[in-house]
Structure 1
Amino acid sequence: MKKLLYAIAVSATIFTGCSKDEDDEIPTKVPVVGEITGDITANRTLAFGNYTLKGIVKIQSGVTLTIEAGSTFTADKTDGDDGLVVLNGGKLIANGTADNPIVLTEKSKVGGSWNGIIMYGDAPIVNSAAPGVQTSNSEDGLLLPYGGSNTAHNGGSLKYVRVEYAGRVITTNSKEQNGFSFYSVGSGTVLENLVSYKGNDDGFEFYGGTVSAKNLISYGNADDAFDWQDGWRGQDNTNWFAYQTGVGNYGMEVEAKSVNNAFWPKVTNITLKRAAGTTTEAQSEIQLDAFQFKAEGNGDYSNIVIDGYNSQTTPTALVGGAVQIKDLVTYDHQVTTGKIKLTNVKVTNTPTLFIAGATTFTVNAASFGANWTISTTATGASLTKGKWATVDGVDLLANL
C-alpha cells in the first residue's frame, strides 16, 4: 500500500510539474446533460453542457440566466413551440468564445422549426406620428407589449452565439419569429459575434430600440438577412455579413412605421452577397434587392460590398438591384433630404443599381447627391474565422 501511495504521489508531482511546452494533454471538461424548460424565476447558471430546450423558456424580470461557453441547446419541433425569451427586466448572459460558441439548434435541422432568441426591453420605438412614449405589441405570437423611454435598457450580453434553423412562421405578421428578435432593446445590451443560420424568416430583426450589434453573420435565411422597423436607432453597428443562398429576400429591409424621424441607425462595414440561383419567397412584391427602404426607413451606411443581386426568372420574374425605394413618401422625405446615406459602395454582379417601387417617381444616383458614392476599394465586413462561424464543417465565411 505504501508503494502504491508513493507511486500516485510521484505521478501527481510529474503531472503538475509539466509545462505546455512539453505538449502534455490537458483533461477535457466533460459537458453536463440536462433540460431547460418553463420560466426562469431565480438567478441561474447553466454549466457547460448539452441541453434540451423544451417549450417557451422565459427569463422573468429581475432574473439573470447565465450560460457557460461551449454549451449547446437542442429544440425538437415535434413537441410544439420552443424558444428562449428574455422578458423586459430579465437578462441573458451568454458569452461564448470563437472556439467555444454557444449554439442553439433544432433536432431536424429544418429551417422554421423553432422560435429562436427573443429579447424584450423598454427602449424607445415609434409606431405612429403621435408624440410621447410609443408602445406596440409583439408579432411573435406572444403579443407582449414593448417600447418605452429607457434608452440604456440592458438585456444582458450575447457573444459568440449561434442560432440555427429558427424563424418559425405560423401566421404572417401576427405569429412569426426570426433567428434573433430584439423588441425595443436598449444600448446597455451587448450583441457581438452572432450567427443566424438557415432560418425560415429574417436572420436578425430589430423592433425599435437603441441597441447596436457588432460582427453579425446572417447565412441562408429564407426571408431578409437583416430587418428592422419601429424606428430602430442603433449607432455603433459594424461588420455585418449576409450570405443569401437557396431562398432569400432582401439583404436589408429598412422601415420606420411611416414616421419621418429626425434620427437613423448607423452601420459600417457591410457585405451583402446573394448566391447564384437564389430565388425569393413566392410573394408579389419585389424581394431580391440588397437594400429596400420603405415606410420612411432611413439610415447611414458606409463601406459596403454588394454582390450577386441579379434579376430572377422563376418562380416569379423580378428585377434585382442594389437599392430599392419602395414608395414616394420615403423618396421625398428620406432620399431627397439626405436621411439615407450609402457611401463607399462597391457593386458587382448587380446590373441594376436603383429601383423605384412605383411608377410615380424615379430613383437614380442624382437623387442621393453626395449621399451615394461608388468605390472600387470598399472592403465590407471583416470577420475572423473559427468554430463560431462553422456549421457541420461548412465555413460560413468562405464567401466573404
Structure 2
Amino acid sequence: MKKLILSLSIIATLLTSCTSSENDSAALGPVEGQLSGDITADKTLVKGNYELTSAVRVKSGATLTIAAGSILTADDANGLISLTVEKGGKLIMIGTAAEPIVCTSKTKTPGSWGGIVMYGDAAIVPSSSSTTATSEDGTNTVYGGSSNATSGTLKFVRVEYAGRKIADGTKELNAFSFYAVGSETVLENLVAYKGSDDGFEFYGGTVSLKNAISYGNTDDSFDWQDGWRGQNNSNWYAYQTGTANYGMEIEAKGVNNSFYPVVSNITLKRAAGTVTEGGSSAAEYDAIQFKKQGNGFYSNILIEGYTDANAVAVRIQDLATNTDQVTGSKIKLTDVKIAGSTPLQGAGATGYTISFPVGFYTTSTTSTGANLTTGAWATVDGVSLIK
C-alpha cells in the first residue's frame, strides 16, 4: 500500500474540507509528515507517521488531536524533544487496543527524548509556605492552582525510550510527566517503555490513571510528589528489569496532609539480577517506599522478585512519615501478597518502630494484582509486556 507524503499544512487543508481528496488520502493509507514548534491553534493529525524535529508545545487555548495508529518519532539529533501540553492547552490522543498511538525515538535509546509532559492547574502541596512549584523539565514552569479542568485525553498511548536527564537528580523528564493535572483529564491504557527515569510521575494534581504499564524504566516505575491525590486509579502493572529503583516512590514534600491517592489492583514485579541505578549503595530496591509525608490507600497488591538482601515490600523511610501518616491512619495497604520471602515492611532509619493501626496493613494469599488485557497496545517487537 502506497504512503502519501504530505506536509502538515496540506494535512490541515484535507482535514478542514469534506471532499473526495479526503477519501482518497484515507484510501492510500497513513500519511507521513513532521511536527515541531508551538501549536497555537487547533490541529488534527490523521493516522500517520510523524517525525518530531523539535520540541512541541501545545499552547493555552489550542488542542492537538492525533488519530489512532499514528507513530510519532523524536529525532534525537535535534536536541531536547518532548511533547508538552501547557496549562490551558489540550492533547487528545485516543488509540485503540489494536491501534495504539506510539511515541518513540529515532535511535531507540533509553533517555533519548523527554516523552509526554502535561500541565494542568490543579492543587499541589510543594512546601509548607507555597501553593506553587517550579517544574523539573528544564523549562522552570510554575505549576499549581485550583482548577480540575481537563488537559485532554490519553487512551492507548505508548511512550518508548524517554526519560531524558538534563541534570541528574534535579532536572529530568520521564516517559509521562503530569504537573498539577486536573481530575477531568482522562488517562487510560498507557505504557511507559524502557525510559531512563520514571515511567509515570505525578507532580501534585487530582488526575487519575487507569490501566497502566511501566516496563523496563531505570528509575521508579510509578512516582509522585507535591501531594498528588488522584482518587480513581486502578490496574497498575510494573515490570522492572536490568536497572531499576523503587516500584512505587511516594512523597509529599514533607508536608503533613489529610488527603491521599487511592489505587486498586497493583502488580510490582522485579526480574532476577535487576540492580539499582547507583548500585548497592543506593538502597533503592524496595517495592514501595513512603517518605516525606507520602500516604495513600492501596488494595489488591501483588509483589514479586524484590530479592535484594535488604529489600522490603513496604518501607517507611523517616520518622515523621511513620508518626503522621502510619499511626495517623493515612497509609492503608490491604490484601498484599508477596511471592517469595521479601519481608513485609521496614524502616529507613533506626529509632522508631512501624505499627500500622488494625486493618491498615493486611496480607492475602489470593491477591491478583493488576487485571489487564493484552493486545498491540501492550506488545513491543512481538513480545507481550504483561508477563
Fold shared by both chains (TM-score > 0.5): yes
Query: 1:288 aligned to 2:285?
Result: yes
Percent identity over paired residues: 61
Q: Give the Cα–Cα distance (whole angstroms) in 1 for the partners of residues 32 and 327 of structure 2.
A: 57
Q: Give the Cα–Cα distance (whole angstroms) in 1 for the partners of residues 358 and 219 of structure 2.
A: 31
Q: Give the Cα–Cα distance (whole angstroms) in 2 for the partners of residues 141 and 226 of structure 1.
A: 21
Q: Give the Cα–Cα distance (whole angstroms) in 2 for the partners of residues 265 and 351 of structure 1.
A: 25
1:340 corresponding residue in structure 2: 331
> What is the SS of the residue equivalent to 1:55?
strand
Task: Report the AA paired with residue 104 of structure 1.
Answer: C
Structure 2: state its 5+ residue gaps: 1-25
Query: 1:182 aligned to 2:178?
Result: yes
CA apart distance, 1:369: 2.9
Q: Give the Cα–Cα distance (whole angstroms) in 2 for the partners of residues 367 and 263 of structure 1.
A: 18
1:6 corresponding residue in structure 2: none
Q: Give the Cα–Cα distance (whole angstroms) in 1 for the partners of residues 118 and 138 of structure 2.
A: 14
CA apart distance, 1:29: 5.6
Q: Give the Cα–Cα distance (whole angstroms) in 1 for the partners of residues 42 and 111 of structure 2.
A: 30
Q: 8 Å contact 1:141–1:174 — kept in the other structure?
A: no
Q: Which residues in structure 2 correspond to 1:245-260 (within 5 Å)?
A: 245-260=241-256
Q: Which residues in structure 2 correspond to 1:216-365 (within 5 Å)?
A: 216-282=212-278, 284-311=281-308, 319-363=310-354
2:194 corresponding residue in structure 1: 198
1:171 corresponding residue in structure 2: 167
Q: 8 Å contact 2:276–2:282 — kept in the other structure?
A: no
Q: 8 Å contact 1:264–1:300 — kept in the other structure?
A: yes
Query: 1:141 aligned to 2:130?
Result: no
**Larger gyration radius, structure 1 or structure 2:** 1
Partner deviation per Cα, 1:90-133 (whole Å, 9 max, x = no partner)? 00000000000000001111110000000011100001223xx7
Q: Give the Cα–Cα distance (whole angstroms) in 2 for the partners of residues 289 and 382 of structure 1.
A: 22
Q: Give the Cα–Cα distance (whole angstroms) in 1 for the partners of residues 221 and 238 of structure 2.
A: 6
> What is the SS of the residue equivalent to 1:330?
helix
Q: Give the Cα–Cα distance (whole angstroms) in 2 for the partners of residues 224 and 379 of structure 1.
A: 22
Q: 8 Å contact 1:304–1:378 — kept in the other structure?
A: yes
Query: 1:385 aligned to 2:381?
Result: no
Q: Which residues in structure 2 correspond to 1:366-377 (within 5 Å)?
A: 366-377=355-366
> What is the SS of the residue equivalent to 1:367?
coil
Task: Report the AA paired with residue 303 of structure 2.
Answer: I
Task: Report the AA paired with residue 358 of structure 1.
Answer: A
Query: 1:395 aligned to 2:384?
Result: yes
Q: Give the Cα–Cα distance (whole angstroms) in 1 for the partners of residues 233 and 247 of structure 2.
A: 16
Question: 152-161 or 168-177: which moved more?
Answer: 168-177
Q: Which residues in structure 2 correspond to 1:105-120 (within 5 Å)?
A: 105-120=104-119
CA apart distance, 1:362: 2.6
Q: 8 Å contact 1:121–1:155 — kept in the other structure?
A: yes
> What is the SS of the residue equivalent to 1:342?
strand
Q: 8 Å contact 1:166–1:199 — kept in the other structure?
A: yes
Structure 1: state its 5+ residue gaps: 1-26, 313-318
CA apart distance, 1:352: 1.7
Task: Report the AA paired with residue 108 of structure 1.
Answer: T
Q: Give the Cα–Cα distance (whole angstroms) in 1 for the partners of residues 381 and 60 of structure 2.
A: 36
Partner deviation per Cα, 1:201-227 (whole Å, 9 max, x = no partner)? 000000000000100000000000000
**Runs (4+) of structure 1 moved beyond 6 Å?**
none
CA apart distance, 1:243: 0.4
Q: Give the Cα–Cα distance (whole angstroms) in 2 for the partners of residues 286 and 335 of structure 1.
A: 22
Counting matched residue pairs gives 361
Partner deviation per Cα, 1:130-171 (whole Å, 9 max, x = no partner)? 3xx711110110110100011x22000000000000001120
Q: Give the Cα–Cα distance (whole angstroms) in 2 for the partners of residues 350 and 138 of structure 1.
A: 39
CA apart distance, 1:301: 0.1
Q: 8 Å contact 1:320–1:350 — kept in the other structure?
A: no
Q: Give the Cα–Cα distance (whole angstroms) in 2 for the partners of residues 75 and 350 of structure 1.
A: 42
Q: 8 Å contact 1:321–1:350 — kept in the other structure?
A: no
Q: 8 Å contact 1:322–1:350 — kept in the other structure?
A: no
Task: Report the AA paired with residue 369 of structure 2.
Answer: G
1:160 corresponding residue in structure 2: 156
> What is the SS of the residue equivalent to 2:359?
helix
RMSD over aligned CA atoms reads 1.3
Q: Give the Cα–Cα distance (whole angstroms) in 2 for the partners of residues 161 and 249 of structure 1.
A: 24
Q: Give the Cα–Cα distance (whole angstroms) in 1 for the partners of residues 40 and 259 of structure 2.
A: 37
> What is the SS of the residue equivalent to 2:324?
helix
CA apart distance, 1:368: 4.2
CA apart distance, 1:288: 0.9
Q: Give the Cα–Cα distance (whole angstroms) in 1 for the partners of residues 106 and 282 of structure 2.
A: 33
Q: Does the C-alpha gap of structure 1 residues 55 and 348 become closer, same or farther in structure 2, counting only changes over 3 Å? A: same
Task: Report the AA paired with residue 138 of structure 1.
Answer: S
Q: Does the C-alpha gap of structure 1 residues 28 and 270 become closer, same or farther in structure 2, counting only changes over 3 Å? A: farther
Q: Give the Cα–Cα distance (whole angstroms) in 2 for the partners of residues 118 and 393 of structure 1.
A: 28
Q: Give the Cα–Cα distance (whole angstroms) in 1 for the partners of residues 111 and 271 of structure 2.
A: 21
Q: Give the Cα–Cα distance (whole angstroms) in 2 for the partners of residues 350 and 309 of structure 1.
A: 9
Q: 8 Å contact 1:308–1:350 — kept in the other structure?
A: no
Q: 8 Å contact 1:274–1:309 — kept in the other structure?
A: yes
